[in-house]
Amino acid sequence: MKTIRPIGLLLGAVTAFSAVAETALEEIVVTAQRREQSLQEVPVSVTAFTGDAIERRNIKGAADYLAMTPNVSFTEDGQAGSRGLGISVRGVNNLVSGENAVVNSIGVYLDGFSVASVPTQVSNPFLPDMERLEVLRGPQGTYFGRNAVGGALNMA
C-alpha cells in the first residue's frame, strides 16, 4: 500500500508536467466586427484562414475556401441564371424577386468594401496576396448592412 502512493504521485506529476508543456496555438486575427480581434474573442460564428493556411492548403480561389468551410454550400453556376459562384450560408442564399432580380443575402467584401452587387462576380479572386479569408455565418447586418442577412465573406 505504501509503494502505491509514491507511484501515484509520480504519475500525477508527469501528467501535470505534460499539460504545462503543450505548444501554444497560433493566434488568428479577424476583422469580423470592423476591428482586429483574436478569433477566440469574437462573439460571431467565424471560419478564418490566415495567409499561411491559404498557401499550405493550396487554396486557389473562393470555391476552394468555401469547400472547407462548415455550413456553407455553393454552386459554380450561380443562381437565377447568373454565372459565377452562388453562395449559401446556413441555408440562406440569394433571393429571387421578380423577373431575374436578385437580392443579395450574402455580403462579399474585399478589404472591408463591398466588391459585387451580386456575389457570383467574385468566383475566383486572386488569392496570393490575401492576408486572410473569413466567412461570418448568420445575420451580419449590424456591421455589413442589409445585404448580409445570411452572412458575409470577407477577404483581406
Contacts of 116 (CB under 8 A, 6+ apart): 108, 122
Give CA–CA dist 156/154, Å, rounded: 7
All three cell numbers of 150: 445570411
Q: How many CA atoms lie within 13 A of 117 on its CB side?
A: 3
CA 2 from centre of chain: 55
Mean pLDDT computed over 99-126: 64
The whole-number pLDDT of residue 117 equals 46
pLDDT band, very low/low/confident/very high, at 128 (cuts 50, 70, 90): low
* Residue in the block written with cell 493566434: 27
Q: What angle do CA 119, 121, 126 make, to 5 degrees?
A: 110
Q: Which of 29-43, 65-79, 85-99, 138-152 has the highest mean pLDDT?
A: 138-152
Q: Are 108 and 122 in contact (CB under 8 A)?
A: yes
The whole-number pLDDT of residue 88 equals 76
pLDDT band, very low/low/confident/very high, at 80 (cuts 50, 70, 90): very low
pTM beyond 0.75: the answer is no
Render the burial of 78-115: b for 16+ CB within 10 Å, e for the rest.
bbbebebbbbbbeebbbeeeeeeebebbbbbbeeeebe
Contacts of 100 (CB under 8 A, 6+ apart): 80, 81
129 vs 57, which has greater pLDDT? Answer: 57
- Please name the amino acid found at residue 125: P
> What are the helix (H) ranges across 36-116?
51-56, 62-67
Judged against a pLDDT cut of 80, whether residue 137 lies above it is answered with: yes
Mean pLDDT computed over 97-112: 71
Domains of the chain in start order, with CATH, are 27-155 (2.170.130.10)
The whole-number pLDDT of residue 92 equals 76
Judged against a pLDDT cut of 60, whether residue 83 lies above it is answered with: no
Judged against a pLDDT cut of 70, whether residue 82 lies above it is answered with: no
pLDDT band, very low/low/confident/very high, at 22 (cuts 50, 70, 90): low
The whole-number pLDDT of residue 93 equals 75
Listed residue (85, 141, 150) closest to 116, CA to CA: 85
